[in-house]
Amino acid sequence: MRRVVRRRTLLRGAALVPLAGVVAGCGDLARTAGLGEYVRVAVPWSAAELAAFSRVLDRRGTRDYELIPLGDDIGAALGARAGGRPDLVALPQPGKLSGNIESLAKLTDVVWHPRYDEIWPPATVDGAHYALPFKLAHASVVWYRKRFFAEHGLTPPTTLAEWLALNEAVIDIGGPAPLALGGADGWFLAQFFENVLLRSFTETFRELARPHDARLWDSAPVRSAFEMVADMWGRARVLSGGANRALVQQFPDAVLEVFRYGRAVMVPAPDFAESVIRRFAGLDDVATFTFPTGDGGAAPLAISADLLVLNLDASPDAAGLIRYLATPDAPVPWIRDTGGFIAANPLTDTKHYTPTLLRLVKELEDSEIEFGLADRLGRLGGSEGLQRVLQNLLRGIAAGVTPSAAARTACAAMVDAKRRTG
């Protein structure tokens, strides 16, 4: 039997020690009735995504699991005491994998596809697989209102300079603002910066993704990337509601600013923005362009991913569940009914994607890809690092700080974060 355990109820205390008691209920009744064990599954998803994953699991025809939605606290599922750990954990930050290998079970070769070695090589250690790539996310996407573009003769930009000019053109037209931002979600702002850095200064991005000296965060390319971000966000009337409103607006609200309320024309957001648009606005007025590069040339695309891992003491049923989730058809209910899902499994039938998502899938297949820094740098990418720095940069803009000063402050903060976190 299935029961969703609410995050607020679960997270009372510093870890998941009380987890076994919290997720009892239906699972215990099932065992008492002789219906077998249940599998405890910890996930970062909520709302529509949580419901979509539940449908993925229900497609097997049996409800022998407990869903534990942990949101941003998903890392606690790996650090809990053995008796309180979930069996299976969906990790949205692959950077958490390397520090927890000793507490994870090896996965059978049956679940592995050779393409996964390209997506996330650290999932394999000494020939053994410890994580199953399940959900990819195309993070170099900008969504826009295609009718507004057509009515006013606007075309998608291919360079950052063209994007700045496009923003000014939208302002001159009057009415909606050019951009909506979900600044309350630090990852949203971090992905914007990562795209600017990756698609303008690719080699510096790659150096930062490897072990490096803290001073690299104060290099000229990093300063330029921060200044580009501050310049775009800081121009008058560019952000819907202004910088102060952007700071308290979450990711779904930023998407709806464009496609439901019409107060903005564009929103830079990953492919899973589609599920929000489908649910609240419809896809009739939706188009996308690829996040522009510095010079209009080719550059890698930014991605993120959700990886499935088994804790070392997971039940045998959990191993069976992850084998099911590795099959090409497993994510079909999510893709078909909710949208905003790109399967990591290259054998998943593409007929289930909407035309918009299919274009993004093809772009990922045909392009060089790089994981975002926040996904790879652990604590440096979290509340103590890159995400907070970008939120502070937006606060500085709201207070009238110049782009160059905002960039200097951001670089200094990242140097300090790197030195503190190693």
Average pLDDT across the chain, whole number: 87
Q: Name the pLDDT band for 378 (thresholds 50, 70, 90).
A: low
Using a pLDDT cut of 90, give the percent of the chain over it: 72
pLDDT in tens, 19-59: 333 333 344 433 333 344 789 999 999 889 999 999 999 99
User: For residue 384, is pLDDT > 70?
Assistant: no
Mean pLDDT of 401-413: 97
What pLDDT, in 10s, does the model give residues 320-349?
Answer: 999 999 999 999 999 999 999 999 999 999
180 half-sphere exposure, CB direction, 13 A CA radius? 26
| Distance from the Cα of residue 207 to its chain's centroid | 22
pLDDT, position 308: 95
Q: For residue 90, what are its two tokens? A: 């969906």
Q: Is 253 helix (H, G, I), strand (E, B) or coil?
A: helix
Regarding predicted confidence, which is higher, 268 or 373? 268
CB 222 within 8 A of CB 197: yes
- pLDDT score at 61: 87
Q: Looking at residue 196, what is its pLDDT? A: 98
Residues 6+ apart with CB under 8 A from 11: 70, 73, 76
pLDDT at 119: 80
Q: Confidence band (pLDDT; 50, 70, 90) for 412? A: very high
What is the Rg, in whole angstroms, of the alpha carbon atoms belonging to the chain?
A: 22
Q: Which residues contact 215 (CB under 8 A, 6 or more apart)?
A: 415
**What is the arithmetic mean of pLDDT over 306-313?**
92
Instruction: Spell out the residues 6+ positions from residue 319 whose beta carbon is closer than 8 angstroms to its own.
Output: 105, 108, 310
Token reading at 182: 């979900």
81-131 confidence digits (pLDDT tens): 656 789 999 988 777 777 788 889 999 999 999 988 888 777 888 888 999
For residue 84, give both structure tokens: 């309180």
The widest CA-to-CA distance across the chain, in whole angstroms, is: 69
Query: Going from the N-terminus, what domains does the chain have, and what CATH number goes with each?
Result: 7-137+303-366 (3.40.190.10), 141-301+373-421 (3.40.190.10)
The whole-number pLDDT of residue 14 equals 29
Summarised one tens digit per residue, pLDDT across range 203-244 is 999 999 888 999 999 999 999 999 999 999 999 999 999 999
Q: Is 219 left (phi over 0), alpha (psi -120 to 50) or beta?
A: beta
Q: What is the pLDDT of residue 117?
A: 86
The pLDDT of residue 336: 96
Helices (H) and strands (E) in the chain, counts: 20, 13
